[in-house]
Amino acid sequence: MTPLAEKFAGKDLIGNVVLGHEDGKACRGHGWTFGFGYGGVVIGHDLASEGDAKHVAQGCREHWLGEVTGRATGAQSLAIFGAGPIGSLALALAKLRGIPKVCVIDRIEQRLDVARQLKADCVINSAKEDAVAAIREFTKGGAEFVIDAVGVDATRRAGVNACARGGRLLFIGMAENDSGLPWIEMIRNEQSIFTTFCYAARDFQTALSLLESRKLDLTPWTETRSLDDGQAGFMKMTHNPGGTLKLIFKP
């Protein structure tokens, strides 16, 4: 057995499976069960408990959002387009960081129910009402920060129109490649655009610390099934996930 294998033998690990653009260093282990994730599905092995599995489900993927919402320190308002896994975790982290007005927009009512459980201050079903008008009314003129976790032309445009003068927009969603945005209006309003795809080692460490502290309650949007129910689980997440944002299979 190699020295590295001896060091971690018999321990649960979580692997940093993506190399960040900032340092590109090798992955680290931090005392958590290793799991394999694809989309909204996570497969774990030797999980100590269902609760640990649910924490692992998020620790592998969305932890870099800590820095994203960290930029909003002192902000009074944030609008999040998309109540999927990324948007919902952004909501949870924003509330942890004390942003008093967080608005979540989606077209699926079950996902908005999850947003309510995660303490969203305002939820908007964009299939039933004008999201931009509702956001501007709720925030008294526009959100200081806007996150688009959908990534289609309509939500990017809506994000710009819902953003306050001097506000910041973060584009995360990647459903569509091209979008036409009102650049002259954005320049006049001095709105800033940010994008993010990966994360740095410090973000991974921050995420693990949050998971260890149990400050994030992931139970409202996770579901656990037996691995024997795998086919049905994949079909559910592909065609009709409802309020389930992460599905965890336990062998």
pLDDT digits (tens, 9 = 90+) for 185-207: 999 999 999 888 766 666 667 77
Structure tokens at 205: 């460490």
The SS3 call for residue 135 is helix
> CA 60, CA 218: separation in Å to the nearest integer?
14
Domain boundaries, the chain: 3-61+200-250, 65-195
CATH architecture for the domain at 65-195: 3-Layer(aba) Sandwich (3.40)
pTM exceeds 0.85 for this model: no
- 239 — pLDDT class (breaks 50, 70, 90): confident
Answer whether 14's CB lies under 8 Å from 30's CB.
Answer: yes
> CA 62, CA 71: separation in Å to the nearest integer?
16
Contacts 24+ apart (CB under 8 A), 13-21: 14/56, 14/59, 14/60, 14/208, 15/60, 16/201, 16/204, 17/60, 18/198, 18/199, 19/198, 20/198, 20/199, 20/200, 20/201, 20/203, 20/204, 21/198, 21/200
Taken as a whole, the chain contains a residue count of 251
What's the maximum distance between 2 C-alpha atoms anywhere in the chain?
Answer: 63
Is the model's pLDDT at 115 over the cut of 60? yes
Report the pLDDT averaged over residues 54-78: 53
User: Which candidate, 63, 61, 43, places its Cα nearest to that of 53?
Assistant: 43
Report which secondary-structure segment, H or E, holds 143. Answer: strand 143-148
Q: Which of 44-53, 74-83, 123-132 has the lowest mean pLDDT?
A: 44-53
Is the model's pLDDT at 27 over the cut of 70? no
> CA 229, CA 103: separation in Å to the nearest integer?
35
